[in-house]
């Protein structure tokens, strides 16, 4: 059995429980861990493996999750090499262990061999910035993936940029660049469902809808982004307006339908068009399919959320619901900042384009040179003509990679000091090139945009888009192409602060 445990608030980790099928009752947990790592993505590999005589069962012969023991730190993957030699290495070992979800890391353990990837690398850089006060590009972790090698790089690093903290707010709080684009489109095109972000939760058992409604209000009060509307002024300026907690009243809409009608009902509810000037950017609907079967749809406008936001949104809703079921208000750690603080901080961080030394000018110069001469579109053998006007209709095509191929791809990534994402990116560029797209293959990819640890538990619109330009010219071997891909991606990660919208304008 594998379950997600939250033994520390806000820190969910996968734990596997094994029952021995051998005469001596032993299990090689490291072999099981290695096998799982070869079959599953990094985030799906359990942190701890616990061997039991038998799995605990309820009176109904179902798994008794509450009776499963908490993992002992010694059961998780830990560093077995040299320990830290000085206080700085001790801090770094602790930070790597924290980010990777393991109890200990030796100074010779590789961040990537322990399951690190680009997203976790960004989080680690943020933690190093906060704790040690130095600024490291993500590239540094690829070049120095162990504490022993990273220590010297930190000694040479520059001072950290200004940390994100709650700040005094002006009368008009500006929109973030990402918000500004969606606000502009909302005014230009009118209210529509193009940028709705739906997430549905299936709920079984007896449900008190009024308690759920109260919990939803708790979450909206906690996250200012979910109670923010937008205003335009006569002078042409615009601002985000955070509504006071005393005027927040989230109504849980309730719909009764059959199981056959559910998909259509969810689709119809997801087409709601938000008026960003007056509507809260969240609209919850509870669909009751049977006495003990419900689906909760949280429809959130993209201007107030992104994919990563679904994690803290779901966790906070669960915390609030459990508390309200017990008749009390939720108790959670206060958020260090709100989205309005982030918008102010980002404007200050980027600086003015009138200042030649500003961050925005430096990154804009990088991207202008990097994307010079980029093709407007890829010439591919399409099966139908490109529409003159975007319809926003699309679909997802699932691709299955078998376990053997997945292990081989991971091995290639580790052997070339790249990531699985980079390997797949190079493979896609190769495919498109062979299909007739040429040798200059630009690919767009989202990045979380949460470059400061204060944003980890915040609901808001932080995601940014990077353009990764792939050069397949000169008939390179795949390893040579992968080396080019690595350089392209690491350079892009180091210049990810400038909003994609600004690049389009340039």
Q: For 193, which DSSP code?
A: S
Matching residue, tokens 């994402």: 421
CA distances from 416 to 121, 375, 419, 486 (A): 17, 29, 9, 9
- The yes-or-no verdict on residue 33 having pLDDT over 80 is no
- 503 Cα distance to chain centroid: 22
Q: What is the DSSP track for 291-333? A: TTEEEEEEEEEGGG--GGGHHHHHHHHHHHHHHHHTTS----P
- As a whole number of Å, the end-to-end CA separation of the chain is 53
For residue 220, what pLDDT band results from cuts at 50, 70 and 90? Answer: very high
Identify the pLDDT of residue 100: 86
- The yes-or-no verdict on residue 469 having pLDDT over 80 is yes
Tens digit of pLDDT for each residue in 272-295?
A: 999 999 999 999 999 999 989 999
194-212 mean pLDDT: 93
For residue 376, what pLDDT band results from cuts at 50, 70 and 90? Answer: confident
Average pLDDT over the chain reads 88
**Could you give all domains of the chain from N- to C-terminal order, each with its CATH number?**
87-156 (1.10.1200.10), 173-336 (3.30.559.10), 351-505 (3.30.559.30)
Contact 303, 227 (CB under 8 A): no
pTM recorded for the entire structure = 0.77
Contact 15, 1 (CB under 8 A): no
């Amino acid at each position: 059995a594998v379950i997600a445990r939250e033994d520390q608030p806000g820190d969910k980790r996968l734990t596997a429980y094994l029952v021995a099928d051998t005469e001596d009752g032993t299990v090689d947990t490291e072999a099981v861990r290695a096998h799982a790592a070869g079959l599953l993505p990094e985030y799906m590999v359990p942190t701890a493996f616990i061997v039991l005589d038998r799995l605990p069962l309820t009176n109904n012969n179902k798994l008794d999750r509450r009776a499963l023991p908490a993992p002992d730190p010694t059961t998780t993957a830990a560093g077995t090499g040299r320990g830290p030699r000085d206080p700085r290495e001790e801090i770094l070992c602790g930070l790597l262990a924290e980010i990777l979800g393991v109890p200990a890391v030796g100074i010779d353990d590789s961040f990537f061999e322990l399951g690190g990837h680009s997203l976790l690398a960004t989080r680690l850089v943020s933690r190093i910035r906060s704790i040690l006060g130095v600024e490291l590009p993500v590239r540094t972790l690829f070049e120095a993936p162990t504490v022993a090698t990273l220590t010297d790089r930190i000694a040479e690093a520059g001072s950290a940029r200004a940390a994100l903290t709650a700040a005094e707010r002006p009368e008009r709080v500006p929109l973030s660049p990402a918000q500004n684009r969606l606000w502009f489109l909302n005014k230009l095109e009118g209210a529509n469902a193009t940028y709705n972000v739906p997430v549905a939760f299936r709920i079984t058992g007896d449900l008190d809808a009024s308690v759920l409604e109260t919990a939803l209000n708790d979450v909206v009060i906690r996250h200012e982004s979910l109670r923010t509307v937008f205003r335009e002024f006569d002078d042409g300026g615009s601002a985000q307006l955070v509504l006071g907690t005393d005027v927040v009243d989230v109504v849980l809409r309730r719909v009764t339908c059959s199981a056959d009608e559910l998909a259509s009902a969810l689709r119809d509810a997801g087409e709601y068009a938000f008026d960003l000037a007056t509507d809260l950017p969240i609209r919850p609907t509870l669909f009751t399919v049977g006495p003990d079967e419900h689906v909760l749809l949280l429809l959130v406008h993209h201007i107030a959320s992104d994919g990563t936001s679904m994690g803290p949104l779901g966790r906070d809703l669960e915390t609030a619901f459990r508390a309200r079921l017990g008749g009390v208000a939720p108790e959670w750690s206060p958020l260090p900042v709100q989205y309005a603080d982030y918008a102010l901080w980002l404007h200050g961080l980027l600086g003015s384009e009138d200042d030649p030394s500003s961050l925005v000018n430096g990154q804009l110069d990088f991207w202008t040179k990097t994307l010079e001469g980029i093709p407007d579109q890829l010439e591919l053998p399409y099966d139908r003509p490109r529409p003159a006007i975007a319809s926003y209709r699309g679909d997802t095509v699932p691709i299955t990679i078998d376990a053997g191929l997945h292990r081989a791809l991971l091995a290639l990534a580790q052997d070339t000091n790249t990531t699985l994402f980079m390997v797949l990116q190079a493979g896609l560029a190769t495919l498109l090139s062979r299909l007739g797209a040429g040798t200059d293959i630009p690919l767009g990819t989202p990045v979380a945009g949460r470059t400061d640890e204060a944003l980890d538990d915040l609901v808001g619109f932080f995601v940014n888009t990077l353009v990764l330009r792939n050069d397949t010219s000169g008939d390179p071997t795949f390893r040579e192409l992968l080396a080019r891909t690595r350089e392209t991606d690491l350079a892009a990660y180091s210049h990810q602060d400038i909003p994609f919208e600004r690049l389009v304008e340039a």
